[in-house]
Amino acid sequence: MINSSSDNVKKLNSINRRMFIIGSCKFFIMIGLISRLFFLQVKENKKYLTLSDKNRIREWKLAPVRGEFHDYFGNIIAGNFEAYQLHIIPEEVEDFRYVIYRLKDLLELSERDFKKIIKKKNEIKPWETLIVSDNLDWIKFSKINNQLYDLNGVKPVISISRNYPYKEIYTHVLGYVSQANEMDIEKSESIKKNFVPGLKVGKVGLEKSFEKKLIGSNDIERYEVNAYGRRISQLEFQKGKKGQNLKLTLDTEVQQLANELLKEKSGSICVMDIYTGSIIAMHSSPSFDPNHFVFGISQDDWQVIRNNPMKPLVNKTLQGTYSPGSTIKPIVALSALENGIIDTNFTVKCTGKTEMYDQTYHCWKKKGHGFVSLRNAMKQSCDTYFYEVARKLGVDRLNETAKKFGLGEKVFGNLFDIEKNGLVPSTQWKKNALGKGWLLGETIITGIGQGYIQTTPIQLCLMTAQIANGGYKIYPNIFMEDNEKNEPKDKFTQLFQSSTNIKIVQDAMFGSTNEVMGTSYRSRIDDPIYQFAGKTGTSQVKRITERERELDLKTFEIPYEERDHALYVAFGPYKNPRYALSVVVEHGGNGSTTAAPMAKKLFKLIIDRHSIRESIKKDRYMDT
């Protein structure tokens, strides 16, 4: 009995002990649960409320409205339009296969386009946006909106995209926009900040240079969704800021004429105000329609542009480097006058060629010009005269004058990253670049714009403008805000030692265009309102053999790629100069027959437009 009672006591104690332990565990678990609930509902209330809102509330960033480009007269030359897009976020789609095949039917996608969408989907992360189409027409966009109840995860988007109303007219100035890639996002903080799928950003030209000003900021839309992710209602709309509009100094009518004159030709036309440095026109040919790049250029269109032998992708105005030919002669003459090497009475007998150290240097006129002074040599573009002037002057003094007047360095600084410096050679340059000494023969051919010397069309325009304004430094600009900051002429840096020397060169250029035997006499305008002064140039692209010289072939008889480049520089009106221009036609033959006639047509329009420009300028100042 005693043992049985003892066993019962032990069992009871064991049960009590277990009950105590179990009870204690339950107590502590209950305390833990209560503490956790308190922590979640009180301490972490804001965090989980936010997470809940994130499931319920969605934020959608819209593409920023890009700033526009306007010409001098306020015409929109790069604007915007509403583009209808269709986006999908794959992770929000319950049955992607079903949705994509429904879209294929609704949008009538070709098999090729359909495969491209599938390929893009496989290349992106599930949470990234897949752009099914970035430029739908209104009918298809409406059709999608009517079927949204059956298209989970599909987002029709009204976006803003770029439009270039003048197509190829402004391509090499403005550049173009296209979809932002990873490199664009990495390099630009403004693109990274405002990035949305399908965002268009500047790729080249002013569109790229002024991306930060143009891009603007996003519209932000917040809306409530149901458990299926479908939109219920809009909660908030935060309006973004449109990008800055930029006004250029360019005249669309002059730019269009430049395009017409260079149609089916390769070359450049530049027009500049000789006092303010404003660019009136700056066209490179051939060009292309930048609208093709906005939504991604097709392979066929790209091959047509890329394989064009005239290289439409190259901006001839800024990237094209050419031997200036005889357009350099005004600078050679000015340098010789400024350095006291010659005067107006200095004459040379031209027999058609010059012999020196067993080398023959030909004049363009086989039988020669006879005795010529500076004015007649400029008028008739006598090479022999300028051979002798260059020999007496030396390449280093010519280098100094040429650089003063804008040759050999970028005209726009860092504005266009594609702009070339060109090259004005010197003895030191050759020693550093080629490790060889300078030769006298190289000085002689530099005097007629051949050899190592290379210039861009915009540099030739600047050179001419600074001769035309009396020899004062100007700073070319393409933006109205820069133009309005320019100092008056008398504040500009003087580039000459004697104003008489500038006038001598101006008068010689007048004779070249307006007097009998002048190389551009056939392109003259007798009316003083339009009368201009200029200098023709012919730039050799290959060495002429004796046999070719004897054949004396006409331009059309020479293979296109072997024809000389045709150049012309001019300023006008002569009695009261205001504008300078340069014309370069690749493989155009010679400046007198190809380039100078273009200048005649240009000056008529430029000068007719001058009074309109001035009236707008006057109105602007009155408003301010």
CB 369 within 8 A of CB 517: no
How far apart are the C-alpha atoms of 530 and 201, rounded to whole Å?
Answer: 42
Amino acid letter at 549? R
Whole-angstrom distance, CA of residue 61 vs CA of residue 207: 22
Spans of the chain below 70 pLDDT: 1-13, 36-58, 127, 223-236, 482-491, 542-560, 619-624
- Give the per-residue pLDDT at 30: 81
Q: Which residues touch 505 (CB under 8 Å, ≥6 apart)? A: 330, 333, 334, 337, 378, 467
Per-residue confidence (pLDDT) for residue 226, from 0 to 100: 58
Q: Which residue has the tokens 């990008």?
A: 243
pLDDT at 473: 95
The DSSP code sequence of 414-473 is TSSTT----B---HHHHHHHHS----HHHHHHHTTT-TT-BB-HHHHHHHHHHHHTTSB-
Half-sphere exposure of 337 (CA within 13 A, CB side): 24
> Which positions ≥6 away from 576 have C-beta within 8 Å?
none
Question: In 478-595, which residue ranges form alpha helices assigned H by DSSP?
Answer: 480-483, 499-514, 546-551
- Hey, what domains does the chain have and what are their CATH numbers? 58-247 (3.90.1310.10), 252-623 (3.40.710.10)
Contact at 8 Å (CB) between 551 and 558? Answer: no
Q: What is the pLDDT of residues 418-432, one digit of tens each?
A: 999 999 999 999 999
Q: What tokens does 589 get? A: 């033959």
pTM for the whole structure: 0.84
Structure tokens at 597: 């006639």
Note the pLDDT of residue 244. Answer: 94
Q: What is the pLDDT at residue 51?
A: 45
305, 307, 308, 314: CA torsion to nearest 10? 70
Q: Using CA atoms, how far apart are residues 176 and 206, in angstroms rounded to an integer?
A: 8
Decide if 333 contacts 378 (C-beta within 8 A).
Answer: yes
**Beta pairing class for 69-70 and 246-247:** parallel
Q: Compute the distance between CA of residue 605 and CA of residue 4 in angstroms, rounded to an integer.
A: 129
Non-local (6+) Cβ contacts of 25 within 8 A are none
Of 239, 235, 234, nearest to 216 (Cα)?
A: 239
CA 246 to CA 32: how far, in whole Å? Answer: 65
Nearest to 269 by CA among 595, 608, 618: 595
For residue 281, the model assigns a pLDDT of 97
Burial of 287 (0-12, 13-18, 19+ CB in 10 A): buried
Listed in sequence order, the residues at least 6 apart from 525 whose beta carbon sits closer than 8 Å to its beta carbon are: 531, 532, 600, 603, 604
Q: Could you report the per-residue pLDDT of 251-294, keeping only the tens digit for each?
A: 999 999 999 999 999 999 999 999 999 999 999 999 999 999 99
Question: Which pLDDT score, from 0 to 100, does residue 231 have?
Answer: 58
- Which token pair is 510? 């007048």
User: Residue 277: what pLDDT?
Assistant: 95
Residue entry with tokens 């009261």: 576
- Other CB atoms within a 10 A radius of the CB of residue 255 amount to 23
Beta carbons within 10 angstroms of residue 190's beta carbon: 17
